[in-house]
Amino acid sequence: MTHYGSCLCSAVEYEVTGPLAPVILCHCSLCRKATGSAFAAISPIAAADFHITKGEEFLRSYSMEGGVQRIFCSQCGSPIISKRDSTPNIVRLRIGSLNTPLDVPISAHAFVGSKAAWYDINDEIPQYEERP
């Protein structure tokens, strides 16, 4: 099934032509800053399956220490994907940008060791101090 998504302002649209991976909720301090929320919801997908179909010129990349790039819409600020130099064949899709239904489960809470003190996790999904 092909998935479709877009940023908040719809300047950027994309499609995912392969399967989504189970979703990781990342509670690390960097994802909290990047989303302005308690965690980022991320599906690691094959880079070859991810295609920008509209508005590539609006994308900007914020390069971080450790070879991580966070790619977002420069008009509205929506995070779309992140990439790591160490895993060039994978992009980490921010699933809040999807317009099509999610057909994979949430598999993990990651970086629970540094989660926001103001957010309590109240579900049975496995929790990991750092990476699953």
Q: Which residues would be at the binding site for Zn ion (CB under 5 A)?
A: 7, 9, 11, 26, 28, 31, 73, 75-76
Q: How much of the chain is helix, strand and coil, in % rounded to 5?
A: 15, 40, 45
* CB closer to Zn ion out of 3 and 94: 94
What's the min distance (Å) between Cβ of 30 and Zn ion? 5
* CB closer to Zn ion out of 20 and 48: 20
Tokens 């994802």 found at: 31
| Amino acid identity for residue 10 in this structure | S
Cα separations (Å) of 22 from 25, 32, 55, 85, 111?
Answer: 10, 20, 27, 22, 16
What is the dihedral angle through the alpha carbons of 44, 45, 46, 50, rounded to the nearest 10 degrees?
-130
What's the min distance (Å) between Cβ of 23 and Zn ion? 13
* CB closer to Zn ion out of 46 and 68: 68
Q: How far apart are CA 125 and CA 132, in angstroms?
A: 12
What's the min distance (Å) between Cβ of 110 and Zn ion? 7
* CB closer to Zn ion out of 20 and 31: 31
What's the min distance (Å) between Cβ of 12 and Zn ion? 5
| Amino acid identity for residue 130 in this structure | E
